[in-house]
A and B are shown apart, each in its own frame.
Chain A
């Protein structure tokens, strides 16, 4: 599961967002940025500038995974605490960090936790299981 997906996921039980990540297996798989017409990292740049990325979700995920990220040896992937504007000085390096963090880091094994009630959704081989048990279904 990439962190861009995590950024879009919410709890099917309580709609709580973002989900906390605990991870036992993290992997870095480099990927060529999708298109390079307009500039480097334009995929994440477009997503960011069009408001499709929740900044709290990204920083939250990075915080949850910081121990495992250290082991990946891709740098510490630090991010500013709020979404940067395009004219900020470190914009390009922030984009690079975002690209690695959102698209190249994969949570292979772990859980996603609903912060409101502690319900854990298991991630198995990169696939989170968000199917609710029949007993949990209320609405």
Chain B
């Protein structure tokens, strides 16, 4: 069948109304979508004509679309010289039960490169609504939504036929035993408690479009939502208690993350009489967990493994393996270490780490223990049900640090819930270890003794005995304390500094450089430089200090770790203070910058007359790294050269504390428009329309910066001399000068 596309001028008033959430046939009307930023509508027309034809719609009796050419008629409304169009898609092409043309087109164009778009980006479709026609007379055979709910094991197939909707399933609601589906009603009519639930769903969860399905099993409800993002949003809201007083609802994703299952949580009380042989719990076995907990939760803890692969994806919780590394794909320990996931660490004992006192306590009664896996659980994270691999013997001992959690044990139809709190120890042997599986549900709350307990961050230390295939205990691997690694970049800096700036570069540029926000003390330093100096801006970002350097008759070279920020250096595009400065000095074309690590500056020894290092020192996570940065600057500076160093202070204005401690993550909020193509946030969360990213900082206390300078010592016969220091507007600063080390006669 041939497809025809007509280009029309837009009608005077919109021919569509927002999607009607109460209509059982929302998508059976002509649907309107808009596409923006096109080069010409002709491109789009040509593209649509080229697409394969859509499949016929089985539930629209009027559209025997296989024979009717009119069913493939698309209308495109556009205004002359306007870059956006509105497409009217007839119902036959957009029925809820067939793959809609929009979804297919989304699929086809989502890999990018549609040439009809001004900037080459993928097509963006935005649903506008459906035509405000009167509701159709329901067909004599009810649509599939009203079919009797199939048996449980047929559920996945039924849901598959509901493509492309995404569904939330709500289970275990109060007042079980109600029957809300009478044979004559459709799914939009409810009675009793479920009607109230439906109202509160709409209001509390701010649902503009949803459909509710009630199976005859009576303890659950399905919500159909337009997108996976909506599903996630609603799940999050329910987890956080948006449906009060129904706090004990449990949500989880079912079937390829397109369906969220919401059911009532079971109270730990309900299984208190279940006994599992081999399960021992000792409450408050560790009196004070703070040393251990703080060690693992410090932002500068560098021991975490990079994400390990597991079957079907990656392990999302942070883990560390001590003694022997566990491989989630092979489901066994790595017997021959091949330089795989993470760094192999022995198992620390005695004074080797702040937390090894726990290991000592365990090994005093279980000397075979030779392996420990540390797991970090953020609220909402869990671990799937499993029985520990045969690569481990028994016992399996878990020590809980920090937040409390409910662990579930299962064996066939039997269940037991265990509530673990800070300091509790749980030991598994015999049946508990080999026959019962255990797991932690991925959710934000637990139900304990009829109270809803919110989850907090938890770190668990799981001690195990690694054994050979013949069940012999494997040798104990001793821990060798590492000299604090100043060489490889710590993960906290890779994620919290480099990746952070690469993602937020545009917004950063707009909120700082474009408005000419410069540290006055630094500008004063640059204004007092001698003409014809070569000046290094270490950590130059988007180069906002370079114009001041050039203005003073000097040559500036900027270095930064973020390639994205460097690209914005001197960027033309609109009136901004920095651009004007560049234009004035005639260095407008291409300021001099290079991407480099401040610990490995690509500059010749003693080649620079001056340097600035602004807001860089607080991004280095260890003392050796801070020293190395200042050592590098000393190396590149000639004798007599001066440097201005500035870094965030713990002590803020008027004695007010802005930071909880010296190691902090400081959020930076970005408008979504600056994030196109940049992926999701680093620790990002939504804040209304803004997306929040965290950057890692080590903020300095009084005198700390000078101490780092003093630790630098001698480099190439030169050393630092402090010429001035102070506190200014929330920053500690030092002015240092490179002096020659006098040789002793």
Total number of residue pairs linking A and B with CB closer than 8 Å: 97
Interface presence of B489 (CB below 8 A) = yes
Number of interface residues of A (CB under 8 A): 36
Interface presence of B587 (CB below 8 A) = yes
B600–A12 CB distance below 8 A: yes
Determine which residue in B561, B590, B608 has the highest number of CB atoms from chain A within 10 A of its CB, and name it. Answer: B590
Q: A49-67 interface mask toward B, CB cutoff 8 Å, 1 = contact, 0 = none?
A: 0101010000000000000
A5–B557 CB distance below 8 A: yes
A126-B590, A131-B595, A137-B600 given; A8·B608 CB < 8 A: yes
Query: Please, which residue of chain A has its CB at the minimum distance from the CB of B628?
Result: A139
A125–B603 CB distance below 8 A: no
CB distance from A44 to the nearest CB of B (A): 9
Q: B489 to chain A: which residues have CB within 8 Å?
A: 134, 137
Query: Please, which residue of chain B has its CB at the minimum distance from the CB of A102?
Result: B555
Q: B536-570 interface mask toward A, CB cutoff 8 Å, 1 = contact, 0 = none?
A: 00000000000000100101010101010011000
Q: A22 to chain B: which residues have CB within 8 Å?
A: none
**Separation of A34 and B597 alpha carbons in the complex (Å):** 30
Secondary structure type dominating chain A contacts:
loop
CB distance from A72 to the nearest CB of B (A): 15
A46–B608 CB distance below 8 A: no
B595–A129 CB distance below 8 A: yes
Interface presence of A73 (CB below 8 A) = no
Query: Please, which residue of chain A has its CB at the minimum distance from the CB of B569?
Result: A127
CB distance from A109 to the nearest CB of B (A): 13
Determine which residue in A9, A11, A35 has the highest number of CB atoms from chain B within 10 A of its CB, and name it. Answer: A9
Determine which residue in B557, B586, B602 has the highest number of CB atoms from chain A within 10 A of its CB, and name it. Answer: B602
Task: Name the interface residues of A57-108: CB closer than 8 Å to any CB of B.
Answer: 106
B553–A8 CB distance below 8 A: no
A29–B589 CB distance below 8 A: yes
A132–B600 CB distance below 8 A: yes
**Separation of A9 and B558 alpha carbons in the complex (Å):** 12
Interface presence of B309 (CB below 8 A) = no
Q: A29 to chain B: which residues have CB within 8 Å?
A: 589-590
Task: Name the interface residues of B708-744: CB closer than 8 Å to any CB of A.
Answer: none
* Contact of A132 (CB < 8 Å), options: B586, B592, B597: B597
Q: A132 to chain B: which residues have CB within 8 Å?
A: 597, 600
Q: A50 to chain B: which residues have CB within 8 Å?
A: 532
* Contact of A127 (CB < 8 Å), options: B566, B585, B587: B566
Interface presence of A113 (CB below 8 A) = no
B590–A131 CB distance below 8 A: no
Interface presence of B601 (CB below 8 A) = yes
* Contact of A106 (CB < 8 Å), options: B563, B567, B589: B589
A138–B487 CB distance below 8 A: yes
Q: B590 to chain A: which residues have CB within 8 Å?
A: 1-2, 29, 106, 126
B532–A127 CB distance below 8 A: no
Task: Name the interface residues of B605-620: CB closer than 8 Å to any CB of A.
Answer: 605, 607-609
Q: A17 to chain B: which residues have CB within 8 Å?
A: 604
Q: A126 to chain B: which residues have CB within 8 Å?
A: 590
B567–A127 CB distance below 8 A: yes
B534–A52 CB distance below 8 A: yes
A8–B534 CB distance below 8 A: yes
A35–B589 CB distance below 8 A: no
B532–A47 CB distance below 8 A: yes
B534–A35 CB distance below 8 A: no
* Contact of A8 (CB < 8 Å), options: B557, B561, B563, B595: B557
Interface presence of B594 (CB below 8 A) = yes
A127-B563, A127-B567, A130-B602 given; A9·B555 CB < 8 A: no
Q: A52 to chain B: which residues have CB within 8 Å?
A: 532, 534, 607, 609
CB distance from A124 to the nearest CB of B (A): 8
Query: Please, which residue of chain B has its CB at the minimum distance from the CB of A106?
Result: B590
Q: A127 to chain B: which residues have CB within 8 Å?
A: 563, 566-567, 593-595
**Separation of A35 and B550 alpha carbons in the complex (Å):** 11
Top 3 closest pairs, chain A to chain B, by CB: A130-B602, A46-B532, A12-B600
Additional A-B contact list (12), CB under 8 Å, known A9-B594, A43-B553, A132-B600: A2-B590, A8-B557, A10-B604, A12-B596, A12-B600, A31-B586, A32-B586, A43-B555, A52-B532, A127-B563, A131-B597, A137-B488
Give 21 A-B contacts (CB < 8 Å), ordered by A residue: A1-B594, A4-B592, A8-B534, A9-B604, A10-B603, A10-B605, A12-B597, A31-B586, A31-B589, A32-B586, A46-B531, A47-B532, A52-B534, A126-B590, A129-B563, A129-B594, A129-B595, A131-B561, A131-B595, A131-B596, A138-B487
| B interface residues with partner A (beta carbon < 8 Å) | 487-489, 531-532, 534, 550, 553, 555, 557, 559, 561, 563, 566-567, 585-587, 589-590, 592-597, 600-605, 607-609
| A interface residues with partner B (beta carbon < 8 Å) | 1-2, 4-5, 8-12, 15, 17, 29, 31-32, 34-35, 43, 46-47, 50, 52, 54, 106, 121, 125-132, 134, 137-139
